[in-house]
Chains A and B, each alone.
Chain A
Amino acid sequence: MSSLQEMKIAADGQNRPKTPIYLDYQATTPTDSRVVEAMLPYFTTHFGNPHSRNHSFGWEAEKAVENARAQVASIIGADEKEIIFTSGATESNNLAIKGVAHFYKGKKNHVITVVTEHKCVLDSCRHLELEGFDITYLPVQQNGLIDLEQLKAAIRPDTCIVSVMAVNNEIGVIQPLAEIGKICRAAKVYFHTDAAQAVGKIPLNVEEMNIDMMSISGHKIYGPKGIGALYVRRKPRVRLEALIHGGGQERGMRSGTLPTPLCVGLGEACAIAQREMGAEAERLKGLRDRFYKKIKEQLPEVYLNGDLDSRIPGNLNLSFAYVEGEGLMMGIKDLAVSSGSACTSASLEPSYVLRALGVEEELAHTSLRIGLGRFTTEQDVDYAVEHIVESVQRLRSMSPLWEMAQEGIDIKSIKWAEH
């Protein structure tokens, strides 16, 4: 940063938000202090094992866990008996997909999922493939949503489970859950949804949406890390094989002593989200629209990835043409965002989600994911926009591709040596 910029910021320091600014709410969220408050006694005074049946320490812990279970159930319109605590959405997704597939192995060997699913769903499916299961990976349309007709066509007599995420972690698009649920119910196939990015952000109801299994994450909804849940429908009953064996806790589906403080944290996080979701969604949508509008006003050739309307309010995924994503992130180091650029991934491949939408590789390399959340302010948004605009302009001025575009040279007409 130049000293001039520093002086400028110092001069209007009053309005300067605290930096770095966190704009990566789809990666994780801070635990809400109200949640921490609710958790604390269960580390110390109320430390009992919730499975101890013979003394008050156990009863107290059990009561807290069951209260939390009810809070989790409430936000998705489920019964508390249908909630299984897990270590997080990755475990929930593994349990749902592998659990059902293993239970029906031999009779039903087909699983349907989507190419833009989270890695833990895709990798679970890959694992099942190695075991001899047949997996259909549905494509998505340009807006990131699946085509319901393709889903209908993919269902076979031997399909045991359809797993479609509620909200995508990179582009924030919301899949048509109720329609998918209807199709699956009519075909008598279980419908599992990874709702890690959806719970607390959009209204969900497992009854109205005919959802049979739903994965929930604690740390995406201002709860603690290391806890999640799987909703498993009782009527009609979903049968699945456990991944973790032991003392038979969680109706035998997930053994292991429940982490009382974490369960309480997840429950409280759900309760807060349920109370505040309506107003918070409004507020975030306002901030998101402000962000997008200001960027579009100041920069040409910025493209939104994923559908704008069927999208959670706190997500923007933008491609800034001719500016590579990681290079851009280095220029806005005051802002914590993430990028679909290859350079930020271990595999050096650009985002598979963006590629699945048909976003060309060169544009996928230029994408930023901006995640707004509970503690994002209007000041944060304005500051972030200002810095992104400044950085994009600077990097475009030194981009050979931008130069060619200004000269009217079609970048596709050049024979590039791919390396």
Chain B
Amino acid sequence: MAYSEKLIDHYENPRNVGALDKGDFSVGTGLVGAPACGDVMKLQIKVGADGRIEDAKFKTFGCGSAIASSSLATEWVKGKTLDEAETIKNTMIAQQLSLPPVKIHCSVLAEDAIKAAIKDYREKHGKPAEKAAE
């Protein structure tokens, strides 16, 4: 399959690979996908005192498109408020990386990972998931 240069760059030089402390109160963790389906993404956000995402990390089991999608997602959420980060759509990721049609699900998973991390953070802070669920 022929991939875009941007995608290959994110695969070869993934941004923000790593892990944040799950137990940290300021960290939200999202784990989405399934090993049996061939892709699993773990995306973590660290929210600063000003309510903005000051750091993000990911680890992904999956194809090049899945790795690139999650790498891009961590890049995009940084510096955003939770509400802003929630507006990131899979279509934006797919477009940015020029994902071929069979790989669109990778970008969907990346969007899910962002949402799951935000939800986890909000639950930690006593806010039920209603906002994240919409």
- Interface pair B35/A365, CB less than 8 Å apart: yes
Residues of A participating in the B interface, judged by any CB pair closer than 8 Å: 1, 322-324, 326-327, 330-331, 341-343, 348, 350, 360-362, 365, 397-403, 411, 414, 416-419
Which chain B residues numbered 1 to 35 have a C-beta less than 8 Å away from chain A? 3, 8, 11-12, 14, 17, 19, 31-35
- Interface pair A400/B37, CB less than 8 Å apart: no
Does B126 make an interface contact (CB < 8 A)? no
Taking the nearest CB of chain A, how far is it from the CB of B13, in angstroms?
Answer: 9
Contact of B60 among A331, A365, A400 (CB under 8 A): A400
- Interface pair B38/A350, CB less than 8 Å apart: yes
- Interface pair A411/B35, CB less than 8 Å apart: yes
Q: Which residues of B have CB within 8 Å of A327? A: 11, 61-64, 66-67
Q: How far is the CA of A360 from the CA of B41 in the complex (A)?
A: 20
- Interface pair A323/B61, CB less than 8 Å apart: yes
Q: How far is the CA of A342 from the CA of B41 in the complex (A)?
A: 17
Contact of B66 among A1, A324, A360 (CB under 8 A): A324
- Interface pair A419/B33, CB less than 8 Å apart: yes
Which chain B residues numbered 103 to 131 have a C-beta less than 8 Å away from chain A? 103, 105, 108-109
- Interface pair B38/A341, CB less than 8 Å apart: yes
Most buried by B among A1, A327, A361, A418: A327
- Interface pair B41/A400, CB less than 8 Å apart: yes
Does B46 make an interface contact (CB < 8 A)? no
Q: Which residues of A have CB within 8 Å of B17? A: 397-398
- Interface pair A348/B102, CB less than 8 Å apart: yes
Q: Which residues of A have CB within 8 Å of B32? A: 417
Does B36 make an interface contact (CB < 8 A)? yes
Q: Which residues of A have CB within 8 Å of B103? A: 343
Q: Which residues of A have CB within 8 Å of B40? A: 400-401, 416
A326 and B35 in contact (CB under 8 A), knowing A398-B17, A400-B41, A401-B40?
Answer: no
- Interface pair A324/B37, CB less than 8 Å apart: no
- Interface pair B39/A399, CB less than 8 Å apart: no
Annotate B54-77 by CB proximity to A: 1 below 8 A, 0 otherwise: 000011111111110000000000
Q: How far is the CA of A360 from the CA of B32 in the complex (A)?
A: 19
For B, the interface residue count at a CB cutoff of 8 angstroms equals: 34
Nearest first, the 3 closest Cβ-Cβ pairs linking A and B are A416-B34, A362-B35, A400-B42
Q: Which residues of A have CB within 8 Å of B8? A: 330
Most buried by A among B11, B35, B66: B35
22 CB contacts below 8 A, A to B, read A322-B61, A326-B64, A327-B62, A327-B63, A330-B11, A330-B63, A331-B11, A341-B38, A342-B38, A343-B62, A343-B63, A361-B37, A362-B36, A365-B38, A398-B17, A399-B61, A400-B31, A403-B19, A414-B31, A416-B35, A416-B36, A419-B109
CB-nearest residue of chain B to A412: B35
- Interface pair A416/B33, CB less than 8 Å apart: yes
Q: How far is the CA of A414 from the CA of B35 in the complex (A)?
A: 10
Q: Which residues of B have CB within 8 Å of A418? A: 34, 36-37
Taking the nearest CB of chain A, how far is it from the CB of B71, in angstroms?
Answer: 9
Q: How far is the CA of A380 from the CA of B62 in the complex (A)?
A: 27
Q: How far is the CA of A348 from the CA of B42 in the complex (A)?
A: 22
CB-nearest residue of chain A to B8: A330
Taking the nearest CB of chain B, how far is it from the CB of A57, in angstroms?
Answer: 46
Q: How far is the CA of A193 from the CA of B41 in the complex (A)?
A: 44
Q: How far is the CA of A377 from the CA of B59 in the complex (A)?
A: 36
Contact of B38 among A343, A400, A414 (CB under 8 A): A343
Q: Beyond A324-B62, A324-B66, A414-B31: 7 further Cβ-contacts under 8 Å?
A: A324-B38, A343-B65, A362-B36, A399-B59, A399-B60, A402-B61, A416-B35
- Interface pair A341/B31, CB less than 8 Å apart: no
Contact of B36 among A330, A341, A361, A402 (CB under 8 A): A361
- Interface pair A419/B38, CB less than 8 Å apart: no
Contact of B35 among A361, A398, A403 (CB under 8 A): A361
Q: Which residues of B have CB within 8 Å of A397? A: 17
Q: Which residues of A have CB within 8 Å of B62? A: 324, 327, 343
- Interface pair B37/A398, CB less than 8 Å apart: no
CB-nearest residue of chain A to B67: A327
